[in-house]
Amino acid sequence: MLPSPRGLRVLAVDDVPLALSELCRLLRAAPEVGEVVAADDPISALRNIQADRFDAVFLDISMPGLDGVELANLLSKLSDPPVIVFVTAHEEHAVTAYGIGAVDYLLKPVRAERLAMALTKVVRMLSAGTAPVTPHRVRRPDAMAVLPVETAGRTRYVRRSDVRFVEANGDYVRLHTPEGVHLVRMPISRLEEYWADSGFLRVHRGYLVALSAIRELRSDSSGGLLAHTDLGDVPVSRRHARELREQLLHAAQTGMFDDPTRGA
């Protein structure tokens, strides 16, 4: 029995449409599964994991760009990673798969009985954790030190340590870095959760700022507070002003501004 009646939240990843559709069908038919999200390439999978939480990822290996093993390696480095199950037509990667912590390795075409065994392992692994298992487990805020950004068909990776401040833009955020502004599909509240322990502070409903990027606090023409960075001024709301000043004082006292590895 699952600890939550809603069932597992599962991400299915495969670049072959028919294979992805069949995998999703089998997963949705399983009683342990409450919700299935499909991703047809590794970058889409990363975006989904950034924007939401999953209990398990069922992952193909042979995909263009970033293959399943490389993606699983990235996921395994998260503070609270989803359980990984490989679904592939190839047997030769099994040793590697188990070496990076995959709980199971399914060969295509996947049979419902074999999938059920894999899901049993997933539930067992989740239930063995120290925290109660729910479809929305809390991941520690330092999970996303690097964010993939796709522009004009190309993917680049933006390091958290290069970001001076973050600006909300609906379901997206704008990452302001010395190299430019990068748009990422993720709510600012989710990014705040990931980066709060890495020197980023919510100073306004629509802004996060890296404490180490703040050069000074200044007033605007209407008496409002601004946090000045080398990339521009960030508005600070009244409800966040006191916390910002306290955090800046603490950072100065603890020498955080002198640490070149901050946020890396």
The secondary structure of residue 7, as a DSSP letter, is -
The Cα–Cα gap between 163 and 12 comes to: 31
Quote the pLDDT of residue 133: 39
Residue 234 vs residues 164, 217, 224: alpha-carbon distances, Å: 10, 10, 11
Strands 200-204, 216-219: pairing kind = unpaired
- Helix axis angle, 112-127 to 17-29, nearest 10°: 70
- Would the pLDDT of 89 be above 70? yes
The Cα–Cα gap between 192 and 217 comes to: 21
Q: Give the strand order in the sheet containing 225-229.
A: 216-219, 225-229, 232-236
Q: Is pLDDT larger for residue 245 or for residue 251?
A: 245
The Cα–Cα gap between 102 and 48 comes to: 19
Cis peptide, bond prior to residue 109, ω within 30 of zero: yes
pTM: 0.50
Quote the pLDDT of residue 53: 85
Quote the pLDDT of residue 146: 79
Rg (CA), the chain: 21
Quote the pLDDT of residue 118: 92
> What would the pLDDT profile of 20-66 be if each residue is shown by its tens digit?
999 999 999 999 999 999 999 888 888 888 778 899 999 888 776 66
Quote the pLDDT of residue 142: 42
Closest CA to 253 of 201, 208, 203, 211: 211
Quote the pLDDT of residue 96: 53
Burial of 169 (0-12, 13-18, 19+ CB in 10 A): middle
The secondary structure of residue 260, as a DSSP letter, is T
pLDDT bracket for residue 261 (50, 70, 90): very low
**Residue 223 region, left (φ>0) first, then alpha (ψ -120 to 50), else beta?**
left
